[in-house]
Amino acid sequence: MTNVLEVKDLCKTYVVNKRQNNVLCNLDLTVSEGEMVAVMGPSGSGKSTLLYTVSGMDKMTAGEVKFCGKNMSDMKDNELAEMRLDDMGFIFQQMYMMKNLTVLDNIILPAVKSKKTRESRSETVKRGQDLMRKLGIIDTANNDINEVSGGQLQRACICRSMINSPKMIFADEPTGALNRTSSEEVMEELTKLNDEGTTIMLVTHDAKVAAKCSRVLFIVDGSIKGEYDIDRSKPLRDRERDLNNWLLEMGW
Amino acid sequence: MYPTILKKDLKRKKTINCILLLFIVLSTMFAASSVNNIISVAGGIDSFLDKAGVTDYFIISGGDTADVENVLDNSKYVSDYKREEAVLLQGKELFSDGEVIDEDLRLSLVQSVDRLELNIFDEKDEKLTEVPKGKFYSSSTLADKGGLDKGDKLTIKKNGAEFELEYAGHAKDAVLGSNFTGTPRIIVNEADYKELLDNKEAGLCSIGLYYMNTTDMDGVQRDTADICSVLFSGDRALIRMTYILDMVIAAIMLVVCVALILIAFSVLRFTIGLSLTEEFREIGVMKAVGLKNISVRTLYMVKYLGLALVGAAIGFFLSLPFGRMLLLSSSKSMVLSNDNSIGISIVSAAAVVVIIMLFCWSCTGRIKKMSPIDAVRSGQTGERFRKKGMISLSKSKLGAGSFLPLNDVLSQPKTYGMMTVIFSICMVLIMVLATTANTLRDGGLVGMLGCIECDLYIDPGFDDVSDIQTGNVKVGDRLAEMEKKLADNGMPAKITLEGGYFLPVEFGDKKLNLEMMLNKDTDTADYDYVEGTAPQNVHEIALSTVMCEQLGADIGDKLKITINDKQEEYLLTAKFVSMQQAGKVGRLYQDVDLDYTEMDQHMECGISFDDHPDRKTILERQEKIKDIMDNGRVFTVGEFVDISTNSADTIDMVKYMVLAISVIIILLISVLMERSFISKEKSEIALMKALGFRNSSVSAHHSVRFIICAVAAGILANILCLPLTKLIMTPVFSMLGGDSDIPFKFDPLEISVVYPVLMAAVTVIGASLTAIYTRTIKASDTADIE
């Protein structure tokens, strides 16, 4: 299978008050097409920093990140922005949306901005509506973002991340701000997307969420301490139990 | 605990606190300087006239002054009078650097400082009591037009005699110092004055200026109406009226000040509201841990009080030079001192602090409504069943780059509406002034100057009216000679002269020495009248509406006028409006038997070409006539209006000052508002970048919102320009004798293009430069946003 993401010797250092803080240290990682990788680790281990750095949202201090074969360390800000717009999708823990737009408008915004396809506005709207229908939130299309629940909003964020048919979706604790039911619904949608072939990398603290992925990376102090491949043919409960055992071995 | 929270707040929210402080400084500066100026100007002219010792009525008399003194001594209406002696000079007799100091200057008076009866003040508002030998003081109109600086030389040349004087500074002269008077006084040392007067070669004669107090103005006017030697007379109201331009400028500056105060307070209120919105989370947390509303409110009140006190103190100090700058043009010719300016500034600054605290009290009222839930929900969610957006991206054909800013503007009408109104106020102030200045340079106003519209106007070059009166210069011959010269050069034309004749006019118990206009070569039917029909024979006259009101005369009434020592009755057949002599004029039928030797003053001669050429040809002929006649003073109708009203340049000066202030204000508001928006919209900026918007797209999104406001402001200002110009300026023109139907000149290029584009450019420059700051917000900041 083709590698969507290749990371070599990735380092990320923050300097705060003249003190150097090495968040990611010589990290190597590969994500293949169609994979669903969960990144786990204790708070402050560098999970989110890894996600933001490999997705080009934050600059790396050293190392090499290749996305679909393109070396991101050589790219300029505008090229990175274009790559995020056309080839990547993002889901955040907080359901960030443009406040003055409706749910549907928020979803289609990246498509309107993108020059990837030359489709008409009505075609874009139709695709947005299809995605909303698929995720069961079509009724909220014309609602203001303050008029929908957290779960609905997060599903709208998933729709937005999907609107430009990205090669990979990055999700930073996508269920972190949701209740259990909403969380399960959102994960169900992400799993479905992955089953349809979308590569996903997500950061989570929740073993139940991670158990739905195909691989789990465990990060401690900016380095990958261990990797765990999940057999998705097993029932979810078994996967969750096995993962928890492995996490215990890792010192979780 | 409070000091610690406050200290951290001030440190952590540096940007928004700095913006708030800046607006407090601006508000205080505008408020303190404006209130001071309002007080200075409101009673300014009367206080100036009182300080100068101006009396109820004055007469300037040439020739034999014994007549005047005899009348004044015997008039029962004159309670007291004082006399000043002066020497009358033609404007063409005053030179600087070898050239005539001011081509438009007709007359000037030279007076000894020791013979002054009125108080004249120097630049520091001190009474002028002495002038060093060889030096002179003069009203600012002479210095400005002649480009005189202290130390520059002025040469008086009369009949081969020359006198050189050095300019010592400008004098504030209540009676003859205004822009409209046009006869500046040159105040010299007694020895210099005597030297000038005693020089036989120069052959100068003295004239008398009489200032009198009276209990009955009509009585004085009646008693002095028959004095032949009177060159000019007027009452205190007339003097007050000559300062109309200064008053208009001062009033405009007051309007500017009031607008500035409103702008500053509007923005201040917005910024306070914004800074509180920013703090919803902390307020929620404070409430969650059990702090009472009043405790939370007090915390913010203390913070704002601190900022208000510091800002007001800085604003107070800045208001002193700023206030002086605002009144610069008016205080040049008037004593506008305010003895309590410091105290008033302090009170104004204190009032600003109180107003700010009231704003804060009202804004912090929202604290009551904020709950711990706001902290939990980051203030973004919560039940709000009102749609924000008015347009939809899914239904729009606009791209993201155009849609997002437009949607933002429509979604937050209060915020962007406030900005639009502020920009409109700034633009409309400039547009009103520009339209007024253009009107004062437009041929459309020529009818209100008591003239008919001619193709060109030319200064006939009569050196002295007294030469005409003594018959040394034959006006008729001169006009015929000029017509012949034009015909010889292929430009056959009719040249006409509008002359003014001071004649005693009596109606009922009122008697006045009134200027009657007479043009022997035009038809009275060619002039505009607001009521009645043009005089048809020598025993019919027309009067200005102002004079009809003053005399109590109406169409059909018969007035007694003394012409050629013969008093006859004349039928009033028409009323007209005129801005000549503040509207105090009448018009005689063209065939009335009055010789040019009786003429007291005249205007430029009108040239009407026989072949009715187009504008381009007229302009070509203007240059040609200057060469043929060896006379640079050939004017188009617009230029003629300009030199006759003599106000457009001053209005232009104020316009540029208001423009400079507006540019600074708009730039400041754009920068500060954009900085506030960036602070408020940090999460959205980070999100846009995370979604793949380029830095330039984000900057453009922010800048376009300001462009939308600037464009909307331009449209609004254009719509309001003419109605507001009419509203503000018609009363001013009315005071000058004009009517309510002034043909205001709307210059589409200047009003609809130049100023809106300039203001939009300033707005965009301010906003765009500030929007560069959005580059510091990274896509990954989405993780750090509260």
- What is the tens place of the pLDDT at every residue in B17-41? 777 788 788 778 877 887 777 777 6
Burial B629-643 (b: 16+ CB within 10 A, else e): beeebbbbbbbbbbb
Short-list B619, B614, B647, B650, CA closest to B635 = B619
- Please determine, for residue B773, whether its predicted confidence score (pLDDT) is greater than 80: yes
pLDDT of residue A2: 85
Mean pLDDT (whole number) for B325-349: 75
C-beta atoms of B689 and A48 within 8 A: no
Maximum pairwise Cα distance, chain A: 53
Q: Which of A52, A104, A105 sits opposite B783 (nearest CB)?
A: A52
With residues binned 3-state (H G I as helix, E B as strand, rest as coil), the percentages for chain B, rounded to 5, are: 55, 15, 30
Decide: helix, strand or coil at residue B385: coil
Residue B333 DSSP class = T
Task: Give me A182's structure tokens.
Answer: 């909403």
pLDDT of residue B336: 72
Task: Give me B528's structure tokens.
Answer: 């505009």
pLDDT of residue B135: 93
Q: Which of B393, B689, B696 sits opposite A112 (nearest CB)?
A: B393
Q: Lowest-pLDDT range, A81-90, B362-371, B554-563? A: B362-371
Phi, psi angles (nearest 5°) of residue B470 = -85, -5
For residue B379, name the pLDDT band (cuts at 50, 70, 90). very low
Decide: helix, strand or coil at residue A218: strand
Task: Express as a percent the part of chain B with pLDDT over 70.
Answer: 89
Mean pLDDT (whole number) for B606-613: 91
Contact B760, B711 (CB under 8 A): yes
In this predicted model, what pLDDT tens digit does every residue of B475-509 receive, in sequence order? 888 888 889 999 999 999 999 988 888 888 989 88
Task: Give me B449's structure tokens.
Answer: 């100057």
In this predicted model, what pLDDT tens digit does every residue of B496-549 receive, in sequence order? 988 888 888 989 888 888 889 999 888 999 888 888 999 999 999 999 988 898
Contact B117, B210 (CB under 8 A): no
- Chain B positions touching A120 (Cβ under 8 A) are none
pLDDT of residue B385: 43
For residue B270, name the pLDDT band (cuts at 50, 70, 90). confident
In this predicted model, what pLDDT tens digit does every residue of B463-473 receive, in sequence order? 666 667 777 77
Question: Regarding predicted confidence, which is higher, B710 or B92?
Answer: B710
Which residues are CB-neighbours of B528 under 8 A, at least 6 positions away?
Answer: B447, B576, B577
CA within 13 Å, CB half, A76: 3
CA-CA distance, B338 to B333, in Å (whole number)? 15
Q: Any idea where the domains of chain B sit in the sequence? A: 1-43+245-379, 63-228, 396-440+647-786, 446-644
pLDDT of residue B372: 62
In this predicted model, what pLDDT tens digit does every residue of B701-731 receive, in sequence order? 999 999 999 999 999 999 999 999 988 888 8
Q: Calculate how close chain A gets to B14, using CA atoms only, in Å.
A: 18
CA-CA distance, B776 to B661, in Å (whole number)? 31
CA-CA distance, B436 to B438, in Å (whole number)? 5
CA-CA distance, B580 to B355, in Å (whole number)? 47
pLDDT of residue B713: 94
Most confident option among A181-190, B228-237, B239-248, B749-758: B749-758
C-beta atoms of B692 and A83 within 8 A: yes
Contact A26, A9 (CB under 8 A): yes
Residue B604 DSSP class = P
Decide: helix, strand or coil at residue A37: strand
- Please determine, for residue B614, whether its predicted confidence score (pLDDT) is greater than 80: yes
C-beta atoms of A78 and B684 within 8 A: no
pLDDT of residue B733: 79
For residue B692, name the pLDDT band (cuts at 50, 70, 90). confident
Mean pLDDT (whole number) for B435-447: 88
Contact A114, A86 (CB under 8 A): yes
The dihedral formed by the CA atoms of B340, B343, B347 and B348, expressed in degrees to the nearest 10: 60
Decide: helix, strand or coil at residue B632: coil
Which residues are CB-neighbours of A143 under 8 A, at least 6 positions away?
Answer: A102, A103
Q: Calculate how close chain A gets to B287, using CA atoms only, in Å.
A: 22
Q: Calculate how close chain B gets to A191, using CA atoms only, in Å.
A: 22
C-beta atoms of B385 and A99 within 8 A: no
C-beta atoms of B400 and A84 within 8 A: no
Task: Give me B93's structure tokens.
Answer: 């007799």
Each residue's pLDDT tens digit in chain A (252 positions)?
688 899 999 898 888 777 888 888 888 899 998 899 999 988 888 888 888 888 888 888 889 999 988 898 888 888 888 888 888 988 887 777 888 888 999 999 989 888 877 888 889 999 899 889 888 889 988 888 888 888 888 889 888 988 888 889 998 888 876 777 777 877 888 888 888 888 999 999 888 889 989 999 999 888 888 998 888 888 888 998 999 999 888 887
For residue B617, name the pLDDT band (cuts at 50, 70, 90). very high
- Please determine, for residue B370, whether its predicted confidence score (pLDDT) is greater than 80: no
Contact B183, B106 (CB under 8 A): yes
Give the mutation candidate from B381, B390, B393, B677 for the A interface (greatest A CB count, under 10 A). B393
Q: Lowest-pLDDT range, A52-56, B186-190, B570-574? A: A52-56
Give the mutation candidate from A99, A114, A123, A170 for the B interface (greatest B CB count, under 10 A). A99
The amino acid sitting at B215 is T
- Chain A positions touching B388 (Cβ under 8 A) are 99-100, 144
pLDDT of residue B264: 67
For residue B383, name the pLDDT band (cuts at 50, 70, 90). very low
To the nearest whole number, what is the mean pLDDT of chain B?
83
CA-CA distance, A111 to A89, in Å (whole number)? 11
Most confident option among B101-105, B245-249, B446-450: B446-450
pLDDT of residue B384: 43
C-beta atoms of B779 and A125 within 8 A: no
Neighbours of B480 (CB within 10 A): 12
CA within 13 Å, CB half, B146: 29
Going along chain A from its start, the domains and CATH numbers come out as: 3-250 (3.40.50.300)
Whether the predicted interface score ipTM is above 0.85: no
Task: Express as a percent the part of chain B with pLDDT over 90.
Answer: 21
In this predicted model, what pLDDT tens digit does every residue of B146-160 receive, in sequence order? 788 888 888 888 888
Q: Lowest-pLDDT range, B89-103, B282-296, B450-464, B739-753? A: B282-296
In this predicted model, what pLDDT tens digit does every residue of B290-329 receive, in sequence order? 777 777 778 778 888 888 899 899 988 888 888 777 777 6
Strand pairing class (A36-40; A199-203)? parallel
Q: Lowest-pLDDT range, B16-25, B69-78, B367-376? A: B367-376
Q: Which of A100, A125, A128 sits opposite B407 (nearest CB)?
A: A100
Residue B570 CA to chain centroid, in angstroms? 40
- Chain B positions touching A14 (Cβ under 8 A) are none
**Alpha helices, DSSP H, located in B327-340:** 328-331
Contact B115, B83 (CB under 8 A): no
Q: Calculate how close chain A gets to B716, using CA atoms only, in Å.
A: 25
Task: Give me B339's structure tokens.
Answer: 């003895």
